[in-house]
Structure 1
Amino acid sequence: MDRFAAILLTSLICIVAMGQFVQVITRYVLQVPVMGLEETMMFPTLWLYILGAVNASRENTHIRANVLEIFLKSETAHRVLAIVGEVISLIIGIWLTTWVWDFTRYSWRVWKESPTLYIPTFYGDVALMAGMVLMMLWSALHLMGNIRDLVKGPSHG
C-alpha cells in the first residue's frame, strides 16, 4: 500500500509539474499558449490534492494543534486524547461525506463538461467522494488501533 501510494502521488506530481512546465514554455517563451492545458491540468491537480490528504490520513500525519498533550503526562491520557480526536474526526468526516455524496450524485446527474475540451467534470468531482471515503476508512483504522493500544496498556504499545 505504501509503495502504491508513493508511485501514484509521485506520478501525479510529475504530471502536474510537466503540465506547468509546458505551459510556461509555450506561453512565455514561445508566446503560443496551449488551449485547454489548464483544463486538463485541473483533473490531476484535484486528484493530487485529495489523495495527498488521504495519504496524510493514512500516515496519520495531518497537521494538528495538540496543545493538550503538553499538559498530559501519562501515555494513557495521550491515548484517550487521540481516541477523542479520532471520534470527533469520524463524526465530522461522516457528516461531510454525506454532503459530498449529495454533490457526487448531483455531478453525475448534471454531467457538466469543461468549457474548452468538453471533459466531464465528474471525473474531478468524484475525487472528493473517493478521498472522503478513504480518509474515513483510515480514521476508523487509527481509532481502532488507539483503542487496542489503550486496552493493551502502554507496555505493549
Structure 2
Amino acid sequence: MDHLTRIDNALAFIIKVAVTVLGLFISFAMVGGIVFRALLDVQVFGLEELVLIAAMWLYMLGAALASRERSHLSADFFQAFSDNEALHDAMRLIATALSVVMAAFFVNWSYSLFSWGFDKGQVTPVFGIPQYISQGSLLIASILLLLYVLRDLIHDVSKLFRRAKAVAQ
C-alpha cells in the first residue's frame, strides 16, 4: 500500500469518526432541547448555534466522504440508452472534467467566504463562536472534493487510455 492510500484511509477514518460523533451530538442535542423546553419548561440558550455548526460540519464531511467513495448523486442516463462501454467511459470522463472545474470554483468561493468571515470577525450571538468555524467546513469539504475529483479524473483518463490501447492491439 502506497503512502497516498494510507493517508487517504487515515483521513477517511478520521472523517467517519467525526461524522459519527457529530451525528450523535446533533441527535442528542435536538432531543435534549425538546425535553428541556417541552417537558421541563427550561430554555437552553445557544443550543441552536452549536447544532448549526455541528450540522454544517456533518453535511460537508459527509459530502467529502460521498465524493471519496464516488457515491454522490449522479445522472448516468447514457447507460439507459446505450450498451457501449466506451461511450460510458467517455461520458464519465466529461462529467468528471466538469466536476473538476466546478470543484475549483467551489474552492475559490469557499476560500473567499472563509477569509471574509475571518476578516470581519463575526461571532455567534450566545457563545461568541467565530463564524469562520462553520465556514471552514465549506473550505475543507471543497478542498477534499477537488482532491477526490482530481483522483477520479486521473482514473477515468487512464481507464480510457487502457481501453484505447486494448482496442489498438
1:86 to 91, 96, 107: 96
- Following TM superposition, by how much is the alpha carbon of 1:100 offset from its aligned partner in structure 2, in angstroms? 1.6
Distance 1:3 1:40 in 2: 24
Distance 1:75 1:68 in 2: 10
Instruction: Identify the residue that residue 71 of structure 2 maps to in structure 1.
Output: 61
Identity percentage over the alignment? 23
Instruction: Identify the residue that residue 102 of structure 1 maps to in structure 2.
Output: 112
Instruction: Identify the residue that residue 73 of structure 1 maps to in structure 2.
Output: 83
1:31 to 34, 41, 54: 41
- Following TM superposition, by how much is the alpha carbon of 1:145 offset from its aligned partner in structure 2, in angstroms? 0.9
Judge which range, 140-149 or 66-75, deviates more.
66-75
Instruction: Identify the residue that residue 6 of structure 2 maps to in structure 1.
Output: none
Q: TM-score, normalised by structure 2?
A: 0.86
The question of 1:126 aligning with 2:132 is answered no
Runs of 4 or more consecutive aligned structure 1 residues displaced over 4 Å after TM superposition? none
Structure 1 gaps of 5+ residues are none
The number of residue pairs the alignment matches comes to 155
The question of 1:21 aligning with 2:26 is answered no
Q: TM-score, normalised by structure 1?
A: 0.92
Q: Deviations over 1:27-49 (max 9, x none)?
A: 11111121111111111111001
Distance 1:15 1:65 in 2: 33
Structure 2 gaps of 5+ residues are 1-8
- Following TM superposition, by how much is the alpha carbon of 1:79 offset from its aligned partner in structure 2, in angstroms? 1.1
Q: Deviations over 1:83-132 (max 9, x none)?
A: 10010011122122212211111011011010111111111111101110
1:10 to 14, 20, 38: 20
- The one-letter amino acid of 1:98's match is N
Distance 1:96 1:122 in 2: 16
Instruction: Identify the residue that residue 152 of structure 2 maps to in structure 1.
Output: 142
The question of 1:47 aligning with 2:57 is answered yes
Q: Deviations over 1:25-71 (max 9, x none)?
A: 10111111211111111111110011111111111011122222212
1:60 alignment partner, SS class: coil
